[in-house]
Each structure stands twice: as C-alpha cells, then as structure tokens.
C-alpha cells in the first residue's frame, strides 16, 4: 500500500490565488476524508492565528484520518502544532529543516552540526506528543548526500516514523530522484524501520514522474495535492499519482486506499472554492480528459470504449465519456449523440441532415445538444 499524504491545505494553500478561509478549509478537508487520503496536512499552525484555528477545526471535524501540522525545528512552532492537534484522533507533526549548504549558509546561517542538533531536538519534542512524526530535510535534492545520510540517521534514532525527501525546487529528473531514494535506502541506518515519502515540485513538469520514480525505489508515501496546486508550478497532482498507480498496477504492483470515484468531485470543489479552474486538457480531471473530438476516435469509442480509453470515466467520478461534436465528428458520432437525445434518423434523413450538421460545425467550434435539437429535433 502507498500512503497518500495530501498537502493541498498547506503547500497548496500557501501559493498565490489559493488562500482559503477556515470554513472553506474544513469543507475541503471533509471531502479529502471522503476521498480516503491517508494524511491531511492541514496547515502550519505557527504561521498565523488563522492557520492555527484551521488546523484545530479540521482536527475536530476529521477523526478518521491522520491530521498533520507543519513545524520548523523551533520549539514555538512545535508547541503551536501540538496545541492545534490536541483533539485530533491521529495527530501527526511534520518537522523540517533545510539541509543544503545554500539554505544553511544563506537562509538559516547555521552549520551542519547545528542543523543536526536542531533536527533531533525538534523531532524529540514532537515525538513526546505523538508517535506519528515526519521529518523533511528541505532542499534534500541539492543537499550533500553524506550529510543527508547523517541527519536522517540521527532523526530516525530520535524516533520519526516517516522521512520525507523533498525536491523543493523541482530540479530532479526521474532517474536522479529514484537514484537518490535508492542511495538513502542503502546508506541510512535504521531506514528499514521508517516510511520513505516523496515530495516533488513541478517546476520542470516532472513532479508526478519523480514521485513515481521514488515509489519504484521503495518509497511508501507520496505527498501530493488536488489539481497539483502548490508553490510556484505546484506539487505532484494527487489525481494523476493515484490513477497512475491504479491504471498501471501491472508495473507498480501497489495500490492506495483512495476512493477514486471521489476524484472529480474533489477537484471541482477545490476549483469552486478558489475560483481557479484546471486547464481543459488536465489529465484525469480536466474538462476534456474523457472527451473525444476526432471523428475516427468517436467511431472507435461508440463501437468499443477500450479503443481510445485506458481508464473508465466513472472510475474517477465522471458521469460519462463526453462526445462533443465538431467539424471532426463523423456520421457515427452524430448518430450516437442524437440517439442519446432520443432522436433516431433514417439513412435518408442522415444523408440530408449530415451536410447541414457539417455546415453548422464549420460556423461554430463545438456543437452542443441544443444545436442538435434545433437541427434534428421534431418539436
């Protein structure tokens, strides 16, 4: 089983245009629970009073799922996380510290030794509250590998149950990211006792590919977001990760507990709340993800869906395959759509009507049902 760690409400919410009110966060969290993700990262309690209240409210409302709060390795952050998670049935704390020299020197202005000390102190404080503690070495993919091994070995000894490897800047390729996970598995003492998690950003469009490369090397948790939202170009898209694992189970040999029939509803809810639609051709949840435009494709789909469909739309909660009509549609596509509207044409009627349909399709880009009713309807 692969755990799905959703960070829509934390990494996603902090990106421009995706801010949500506490009520909106709770509504989305309830839907994430319905979707059956394993972990909801609900926010960063010490970032603002609103973040604190949101994590607290979600912890109260969602008792079936692990609720996670983010904290730097500072006692104030961890204390705020502990307080926000008091009522959670499965509280998880995600502590992080940057480990790349760039971040240590220019952002934190501390030495590697001080970073290890802070990481261990932070983990120990979180661990005293809950056994569910996640540690992230921020900017892991640009960190010195020997130092990564050192700090991860130390936090595992301090009691984390998960180590998360962020490609914070979205720089990796799948091969490199997979190799990094394999390297850590081979060199970090005690790593077999913890879950390895991926957290990949999409700056070069590789977030999903990198996450799955991690899974192939033994990662058992993927951090991801609905619609792939997140810092800059976003995170790995939850719906793509989940449907990849389901559709290519032959290759990955693992599953998730996600109820995939809730994917589209969750995506739409996030779009409604934030007013940010996904692109029409977005995999899995885009408006066109199950729409077939070309006449040849429509003909194939009408005869046998598997000709052009690798997933069933109902598996992601989409009512039906969309056959929209355009100048590319053929007679089969037209007849199929008319039949769905209760209109059956004789061959003569089709001979007469088809050129009229083509003329209309040339004028309009997409022909919808009301156009068809005007052309072919009896009343």
Give the contacts of 4 (CB within 8 A, at least 6 positions apart).
37, 38, 39, 221, 222, 224, 238, 241, 242, 256, 257, 258
Smallest distance, Zn ion to C-beta of residue 195, A: 18
Residue 73 or 367 having the CB closest to Zn ion: 73
Residue 145 or 232 having the CB closest to Zn ion: 232
Residue 139 or 239 having the CB closest to Zn ion: 139
CB-based contact 295:308 (threshold 8 Å) = no
Smallest distance, Zn ion to C-beta of residue 171, A: 13
How does DSSP assign 65-124, residue by residue?
Answer: SEEEEEEESSHHHHHHHHHHTTT-SSEEEEEEEE-SHHHIIIII---HHHHHHHHHHHHH
Smallest distance, Zn ion to C-beta of residue 155, A: 19
The token pair that represents 250 in the structure block: 């032959």
Smallest distance, Zn ion to C-beta of residue 231, A: 5
Smallest distance, Zn ion to C-beta of residue 168, A: 6
The Cα–Cα gap between 71 and 324 comes to 48
Residue 11 or 41 having the CB closest to Zn ion: 11
Q: Are strands 66-72 and 91-98 parallel, antiparallel or unpaired?
A: parallel
Give the contacts of 113 (CB within 8 A, at least 6 positions apart).
none
Residue with the CB atom nearest Zn ion in the bound state: 11
Residue 11 or 134 having the CB closest to Zn ion: 11
Residue 4 or 372 having the CB closest to Zn ion: 4
CA 314, 320, 325, 331 dihedral sign is positive
Residues that bind Zn ion in the complex, under the rule CB under 5 A: 11
Smallest distance, Zn ion to C-beta of residue 361, A: 45
Q: What angle do CA 62, 231, 124 make, to 5 degrees?
A: 60
């Amino acid at each position: 089983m692969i755990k799905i760690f959703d960070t829509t409400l934390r990494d996603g919410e902090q990106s421009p245009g995706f801010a949500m009110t506490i009520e909106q966060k709770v509504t989305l969290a309830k839907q994430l629970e319905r979707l059956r993700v394993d972990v909801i990262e609900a926010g960063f309690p010490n970032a603002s009073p609103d973040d604190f209240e949101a994590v607290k409210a979600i912890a109260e409302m969602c008792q079936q799922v692990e609720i996670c709060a983010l904290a730097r390795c500072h006692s104030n952050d961890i204390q705020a996380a502990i307080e926000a998670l008091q009522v959670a049935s499965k509280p998880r704390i995600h502590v992080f510290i940057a480990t790349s020299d760039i971040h240590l020197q220019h952002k934190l202005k501390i030495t590697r030794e001080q970073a290890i000390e802070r990481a261990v102190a932070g983990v120990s404080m979180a661990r005293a509250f809950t056994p569910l503690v996640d540690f992230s070495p921020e900017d892991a993919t640009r960190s010195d590998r020997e130092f990564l091994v050192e700090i991860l070995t130390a936090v595992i000894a301090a009691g984390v149950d998960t180590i998360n490897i962020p490609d914070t800047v979205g720089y990796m390729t799948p091969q490199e990211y997979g190799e990094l996970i394999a390297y850590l598995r081979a060199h970090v003492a005690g790593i077999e006792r913890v879950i390895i998690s991926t957290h990949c950003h999409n700056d070069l469009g590789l977030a999903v590919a990198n996450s799955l490369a991690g899974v192939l090397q033994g990662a058992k948790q993927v951090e991801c977001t609905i619609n792939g939202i997140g810092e800059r170009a976003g995170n790995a898209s939850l719906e793509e990760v989940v449907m990849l694992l389901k559709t290519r189970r032959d290759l990955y040999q693992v599953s998730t507990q996600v109820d995939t029939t809730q994917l589209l509803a969750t995506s739409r809810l996030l779009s409604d709340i934030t007013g940010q639609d996904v692109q029409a051709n977005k995999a899995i949840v885009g408006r066109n993800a199950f729409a077939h435009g070309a006449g040849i494709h429509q003909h194939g789909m009408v005869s046998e869906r598997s000709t052009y469909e690798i997933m069933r739309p109902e598996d992601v909660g989409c009512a039906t395959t969309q056959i929209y009509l355009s100048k590319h549609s053929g007679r089969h596509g037209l007849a199929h759509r008319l039949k769905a509207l209760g209109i059956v044409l004789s061959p003569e009627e089709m001979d007469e009507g088809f050129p009229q349909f083509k003329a209309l399709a040339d004028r309009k880009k997409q022909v919808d049902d009301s156009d068809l009713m005007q052309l072919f309807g009896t009343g």
